[in-house]
Amino acid sequence: MRPDPPTVGVEEEFLLLDPPTWRNVPAADELRVALPESLRERDHAQFRSSKVEMVTPVCATLAELSDRLAENRTAAAAAARRCGARLVAVGATPVAEPDLTEVDTPRFHAIVEQYGPIAQDPALCGCHVHVGVPSRELALEVCNHLRPWLPVIQAMGVNSPWYAGTDSRHASWRGIALERWPNLGPWPLLDSPEDYEQAVDELVGTGVMLDATMGLWWARPSTRYPTVEIRVGDVSPTADDAVLVAGLVRALVGTAVGDIAAGRPALRMPEQLLRAAHWNASHQGLGGTLTDLWERCARPAWELVDRLHETVAPALERHGDAALVAAGLDRLRTLGTGADRQRRAGDLPRALANLADQTAG
């Protein structure tokens, strides 16, 4: 008998945009009221009123996850239209956000007081994948093992090429913009729960973080759930793209658990090279080279995607996800990343109109 696959859930962040101008619309409160009552608990309040987060329940299979993602997107897109906006799965504010006022809570006010203009950047949207892990100690070890693969996941998910109405020359402006936060970036290599608690206490104690929840590393043990949370990717253009990312992330976690049980250590690399690999992933997407952190050199992006797929293939088979993920990778190879698809539309208004239609499914 084989163990059940780990559970999986996804949090998706979206922007509310005005179709004529494609500027952000602060209508999140109105959207929440317009949602079907049964789905309102899946809408989690965000820092900015032009931003919506929809979360799935805990799912056992990718098919179930796909259904819940589609359900969330369809309902939220319809509610947005009733509020005079479009729900758009894009990683960064593409044109402008006239109202930069944070949502009125003591915590959000404290974030603005602490971080100033960094916190008042236009809104950014990610795709956060949660994978069930039975203990905090194992979750920490899993995060260590995921480090060299997360730039590849990041490059696959790039979906924010626009900034201030023009092409930013980066595939993920979200990834570039988040570099300024002191508490975001690669997971710090930590060897025990005690190391983790000490690192968090020191960051809070020195004023870098307001509290433990602001350790917003690309991979981290969730502060709320018994999961590893991967938050490196832009929000995906379609539900199918999000399912592909979730399937690969779940397989990476399953592979890491097997490596840990077999006594295989996590790869260690210079921190500056790991940070550079993430920057390069945001810049290039899959359109050029990525950083091979094993050989410490540049490789064609798709070589590393194929290596990732090969590495997690046994876990995909165990989870029953092999066929779905293979089809998703074929689709990604044919259509390109979200950034590729937006640029191919020809101009910004057409790109965002297409993306709003894709978001709604």
Average pLDDT over residues 316-340: 98
* Mean confidence (pLDDT) of the chain: 95
Q: From CA 313, how far away is CA 308, in angstroms rounded? A: 8
With respect to residue 173, please indicate whether it lies within any of the assigned structural domains: yes
Report how far apart, in Å, the C-alpha atoms of 185 and of each of 175, 219, 334 are. Answer: 9, 9, 30
Q: Are strands 216-217 and 184-185 parallel, antiparallel or unpaired?
A: parallel
With respect to residue 350, please indicate whether it lies within any of the assigned structural domains: yes
- CA 103, distance to chain mean position in Å, is 22
How many domains is the chain built from?
1
Average pLDDT over residues 167-173: 98
Q: From CA 129, how far away is CA 243, in angstroms rounded? A: 10
Q: What is the pLDDT of residue 223?
A: 83
Average pLDDT over residues 4-15: 96
Model confidence pLDDT, tens digit, residues 39-55: 999 999 899 999 999 99
Percentage of the residues of the chain whose pLDDT score is greater than 90:
94
Model confidence pLDDT, tens digit, residues 18-30: 999 999 999 999 9
With respect to residue 2, please indicate whether it lies within any of the assigned structural domains: no
Give the 3-state DSSP-derived string for the chain, with helices as H, strands as E and coil as C: CCCCCCCEEEEEEEEEECCCCCCECCCHHHHHHHCCHHHHHHEECCCECCEEEEECCCECCHHHHHHHHHHHHHHHHHHHHHCCCEEECCCECCCCCCCCCECCCHHHHHHHHHHHHHCCCCCECEEEEEEECCCHHHHHHHHHHHCCCHHHHHHHCCCECEECCEECCCCEHHHHHHHHCCCEECCCCCCCHHHHHHHHHHHHHCCCCCCHHHCEECEEECCCCCEEEEEEEECCCCHHHHHHHHHHHHHHHHHHHHHHHCCCCCCCCCHHHHHHHHHHHHHHCCCCEEEECCCCEEEEHHHHHHHHHHHHHHHHHHHCCHHHHHHHHHHHHHHCCHHHHHHHCCCHHHHHHHHHHHHHC
How long, in residues, is the chain? Answer: 361
Query: Is the predicted pLDDT of residue 326 greater than 80, yes or no?
Result: yes
Does 346 or 178 have the greater pLDDT score? 178
Q: From CA 299, how far away is CA 286, in angstroms rounded? A: 11
Q: Are strands 219-221 and 297-300 parallel, antiparallel or unpaired?
A: unpaired
Query: Is the predicted pLDDT of residue 309 greater than 90, yes or no?
Result: yes
Percentage of the residues of the chain whose pLDDT score is greater than 70:
99
Q: In the structure encoding, which two tokens stand for residue 89, read together?
A: 């799965």
Average pLDDT over residues 169-185: 94
Query: Is the predicted pLDDT of residue 1 greater than 50, yes or no?
Result: no
Q: From CA 341, how far away is CA 8, in angstroms rounded? A: 27
CATH number at residue 118: 3.30.590.20
Query: Is the predicted pLDDT of residue 192 greater than 50, yes or no?
Result: yes
Q: From CA 158, how far away is CA 173, in angstroms rounded? A: 9
Judge whether 16 and 80 are in contact, CB under 8 Å: yes
Judge whether 256 and 228 are in contact, CB under 8 Å: no
pLDDT band at 4; cut points 50, 70, 90: confident
Q: What is the pLDDT of residue 361?
A: 85
Judge whether 164 and 115 are in contact, CB under 8 Å: no
Model confidence pLDDT, tens digit, residues 222-245: 888 899 999 999 999 999 999 999
Q: From CA 189, how far away is CA 52, in angstroms rounded? A: 32
Average pLDDT over residues 69-98: 98
Model confidence pLDDT, tens digit, residues 257-279: 999 999 999 999 999 999 999 99
Please give the residue range of the domain that contains residue 224.
Answer: 8-360
pLDDT band at 3; cut points 50, 70, 90: low
Q: In the structure encoding, which two tokens stand for residue 1, read together?
A: 């008998």
Handedness of CA 108, 110, 114, 116 (dihedral sign): positive
Average pLDDT over residues 309-335: 98
With respect to residue 179, please indicate whether it lies within any of the assigned structural domains: yes
With respect to residue 184, please indicate whether it lies within any of the assigned structural domains: yes
Nearest Cα neighbor of 340 from 260, 268, 286 is: 286
With respect to residue 313, please indicate whether it lies within any of the assigned structural domains: yes
With respect to residue 48, please indicate whether it lies within any of the assigned structural domains: yes
With respect to residue 235, please indicate whether it lies within any of the assigned structural domains: yes
Q: What is the pLDDT of residue 359?
A: 97
Does 294 or 4 have the greater pLDDT score? 294
Query: Is the predicted pLDDT of residue 2 greater than 80, yes or no?
Result: no
Any idea what the Cα angle at residue 160 is, between residues 155 and 163, rounded to 5°?
Answer: 135
Handedness of CA 310, 186, 142, 89 (dihedral sign): negative
